[in-house]
Structure formats: C-alpha cells, structure tokens
C-alpha cells in the first residue's frame, strides 16, 4: 500500500490510493456545488475521467466537462472554457489532468469573473493586483501525471498565439483549495509520458536548488524531491502499476512546484520557446536541455552540485559524477539526447535565443543568460556537444 496522508502544505492535499472517491467531499470543502470538470482533449474519454464524472454525478454535482484544451494551452482555450463556465452557471472548477489541463482549468476559474484581458495578469511586478479577487472561482485539483506540480501552484502557463510566447498568469488565489493526489490515476500513464513528466519534476527541483536567490526552505524541498525522483522514476517507468513509485513521483512533482518559488533557469527559459514554436512536450524538452544547461552553469553551481551528489548517494560525488547520473537516467528513460532528436530544426536558433533571455525564468539562472549564452546552449543541445 502506497502512502496515505493529509497535508496542509501549501494547500489541503489528500494523498493516497483510491482517494478520487472523495471528489464530492473535496468539492464541498471548497464550497463548490456545481463544478465544471476541465481537462485536455486526450483525457476526456479515458476511464479515469469517466469514473470521476460518475462520482460527481452520483453526488448530485452533475457531470459537466470542458476539454477543448491543447497540450500547450492557448488563450482561445481559456476563452472557450470561460464561456462554458458561464453558460453552465458553474460555481467552481475541477482541474483534472496533467500540466496543460490543470493550468487551463486554473486560468478559466481565475478569468471567470474578470473583465480585463488575460495578458493584463501576467506574472510581472504587481500586475496580479489588477484582478477582482471576488471573481475568482474555487478549484479542486486532481493531477493525473507527476510532473508540473501545477496542482499546488498559484499560476498557469498560457501560450499567446499571436506572439508564440508562453506567458505565466499569476494570482495568489489561483491556488487550488483542495488537491487529490491518487497514484491510481497515474498508473495507466504511458512510459514515455511517465519519463517526460518525471523529468519535468526533476528539472523543477534541480533549477530551484541551483537558483542563486535566497530561499533555504525551497532549496531543501528541492533536494528531497530529487531524491524521490532518483529512487522512484526508473521504477515507475519500468512498471506503471508500482503505486509506491507513483505516489513518490506525485509527491516529487508537488515538491518541485513548491521549490521553484526560489526560481528556475535556462532549462525552462529555452524549453518554453521551443515548446511554443514547435509544440514539443514540456517535460521532455526540459530533459533534453538539462545536461547542456548544467555544463553551461558549472562554474556557478559546482560546489552545491557536489553537496547534492552526496545527499543523493551518487557513486561519484563530483560535478562530473552528477552529470553522468543525469545522462544515465535520460538514457534509461529513452529520452532523446539532442534537440534535433526531438524533431526541432535549427533554423530559428536566433529567435529561440532572443525569446529565452526575456522568458521570466531566465532571471533565476545561476549564470547570467545572454543571447550568446542561450545560443551556445541551444547549439550544443542541437549537436549533442557536452
């Protein structure tokens, strides 16, 4: 039996096998009586989604669903979701799925009562104060993957179709009121998705730990999150029904999202433009860039990576030993070694570099990320040069 626990950190989390059965009670706790379940198109007809709708329906909550959400959500998805929310007279959202479904659902709940355009609430300065807090609908989050940690986050990532850039929409009240982490919901995840989402969790923990900003609590959470990934991700990849491993990965995903309050870095700032231009899987793209960014940042992070290697009990407790572990893990999970292997051409390298240095995650990189530096990382990741 995998772990069963109730946490209140940073929101109310119900962890354990079979706890999706508590969906109606979770909605009640969040003050929701007529929820709209929002998920991505790929999950809409899956048995885990149908079962959740059945549980909601049986409890008198209805079975309303909105699933017009792309793998990298766009503004039009949010607008359509808000229209469905208003048309159905809903008073809250069940955010169901991976990062795309969760982010879109949180943004729909946020925008349901706003009058300004979504881009007015980008995570810049105090822009979040422009929002009407009374217009933000409550959210119950149910992750079905273990990667983004969006279930415990106060933001959502949306692609602006006009500019092909990913924007972070933020408000403190976007945090879900209740989270159900049921490892059984992730058991059917294909190995490839398990790998990509799991490496996303690792990237969050790793970049947060390496960020130069002062936030020891987040750094500590990131370190333990990486230990869970190291132990659990290969097991979950090999055996999707290993619910102990699935539970640990759900914990690691949530920990990564808590940790990156400290900052992210060049892994994400390069992954974001590549994902928005070529619609690549976010976690998989992070995994491809990871070793090249580590090498780029080596002079700034070597000491702390050596400490990390010790905690993770890596055989060779050095920077090179840690890098070798990352490469071996990627190989074990069948992660492509280069950006080229992802199917991404190099004809927009200059544009990707320009987008990377203005991405909101770039400021957390341990080494200042210039356009030349971003180009260097992209070229190395394209050619497989370490």
pLDDT band at 281 (very low <50, low <70, confident <90, very high): very high
Q: At 7, is the pLDDT very low, low, confident or very high (cuts 50, 70, 90)?
A: confident
The structure's pTM equals: 0.95
Q: Please tell me the predicted confidence (pLDDT) of residue 271.
A: 97
Does the pLDDT value for residue 44 go beyond 90? yes
Provide the pLDDT for residue 64.
98
Same domain for 231 and 316, yes or no, is yes
- The residue among 129, 164, 185 that closes a domain is 185
Which CATH number is 225's domain given? 1.20.1090.10
Q: Indicate if 181 and 197 belong to the same structural domain.
A: no
pLDDT score recorded for residue 163:
87
Q: What is the mean pLDDT of residues 26-42?
A: 97
Average pLDDT over residues 349-364: 96
User: 253 with 151, same domain?
Assistant: no
Whether residues 151 and 234 share a domain: the answer is no
What pLDDT, on a 0 to 100 scale, did the predictor assign at position 188?
87
CATH assignment at residue 158: 3.40.50.1970
Mean pLDDT calculated for residue range 207-211:
98
Last residue of a domain, one of 156, 185, 214: 185
pLDDT for position 72: 85
Task: List the domain range (segments joined by +) for residue 180.
Answer: 5-185
Average pLDDT across the chain, whole number:
96
Domain co-membership, 177 together with 262:
no
Say how many domains are in the chain.
2
* pLDDT value at 254 more than 90: yes
180-193 pLDDT, tens digit per residue, is 999 999 998 999 99
**What's the mean pLDDT in 255-282?**
95
Q: What is the mean pLDDT of residues 341-369?
A: 96
Do 204 and 317 lie in one domain? The reply is yes
Of the residues 151, 185, 219, the one at which a domain ends:
185
Whether the pLDDT of residue 287 is over 90: the answer is: yes
- Contact criterion met (CB below 8 Å) for 137 and 79: no
Based on the domain organization, do 61 and 157 belong to the same domain?
Answer: yes
Is 90 exceeded by the pLDDT of residue 90? yes
Confidence band of 2 (pLDDT split at 50, 70, 90):
confident
pLDDT tens, residue by residue, 224-253:
999 999 999 999 999 999 999 999 999 999
With 90 as the cut, is the pLDDT of residue 166 above it?
no
Considering the domain architecture, whether residues 198 and 119 belong to the same structural domain is answered as no
Instruction: Give the confidence band of 3 by pLDDT, cuts at 50, 70, 90.
Output: confident
Does residue 10 carry a pLDDT above 90?
A: yes
pLDDT grade for 71, boundaries at 50, 70 and 90: confident
Q: Same domain, yes or no, for 211 and 163? A: no
* 121, 242: one domain: no
Residue 164 pLDDT greater than 90, yes or no: no
pLDDT at 165 over 90: no
223 and 342 part of one domain: yes
Residues 235, 377: one domain? Answer: yes
């Amino acid at each position: 039996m995998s772990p069963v626990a109730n946490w209140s950190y940073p929101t109310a989390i119900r962890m354990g096998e079979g706890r999706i059965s508590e969906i109606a009670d979770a909605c009640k706790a969040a003050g929701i009586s007529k929820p709209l379940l929002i998920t991505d198109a790929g999950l809409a007809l899956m048995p885990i989604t149908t079962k959740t709708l059945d549980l909601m329906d049986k409890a008198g909550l209805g079975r309303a669903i909105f699933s017009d959400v792309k793998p990298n959500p766009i503004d039009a998805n949010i607008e359509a979701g808000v229209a469905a929310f208003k048309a159905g007279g809903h008073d809250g959202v069940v955010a169901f799925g991976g990062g795309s479904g969760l982010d879109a659902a949180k943004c729909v709940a946020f925008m349901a009562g706003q009058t300004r355009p979504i881009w007015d609430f980008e995570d810049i300065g105090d822009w979040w104060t422009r929002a009407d807090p009374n217009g933000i609908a409550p959210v119950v989050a149910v992750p079905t993957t273990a990667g983004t940690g969006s279930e415990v986050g106060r933001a959502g990532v949306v692609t602006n179709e006009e500019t092909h850039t990913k924007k972070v929409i933020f408000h403190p009240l976007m945090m879900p009121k209740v989270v159900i982490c049921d490892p059984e919901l992730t058991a059917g995840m294909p190995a490839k998705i398990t790998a990509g989402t799991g490496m996303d969790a690792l990237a969050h923990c790793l970049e947060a730990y390496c960020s130069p900003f002062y936030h020891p609590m987040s750094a500590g959470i990131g370190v333990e999150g990486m230990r869970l990934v190291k132990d659990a991700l290969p097991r979950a990849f090999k055996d999707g029904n290993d619910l102990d491993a699935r539970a640990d990965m759900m914990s690691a995903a949530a920990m990564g999202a808590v940790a990156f309050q400290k900052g992210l870095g060049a892994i994400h700032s390069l992954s974001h433009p590549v994902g928005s231009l070529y619609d690549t899987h976010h976690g998989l793209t992070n995994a491809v860039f990871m070793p090249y960014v580590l090498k780029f940042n080596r002079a700034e992070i070597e000491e702390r990576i050596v400490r990390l290697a010790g905690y993770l009990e890596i055989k060779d407790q050095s920077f090179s030993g840690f890098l070798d572990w990352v490469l071996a893990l990627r190989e074990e999970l069948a992660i492509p070694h280069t950006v080229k292997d992802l199917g991404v051409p190099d004809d927009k390298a200059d544009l990707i570099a320009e987008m990377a240095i203005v991405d909101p995650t770039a400021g957390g990189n341990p080494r200042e990320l210039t356009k030349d530096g971003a180009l260097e990382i992209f070229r190395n990741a394209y050619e497989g040069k370490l």
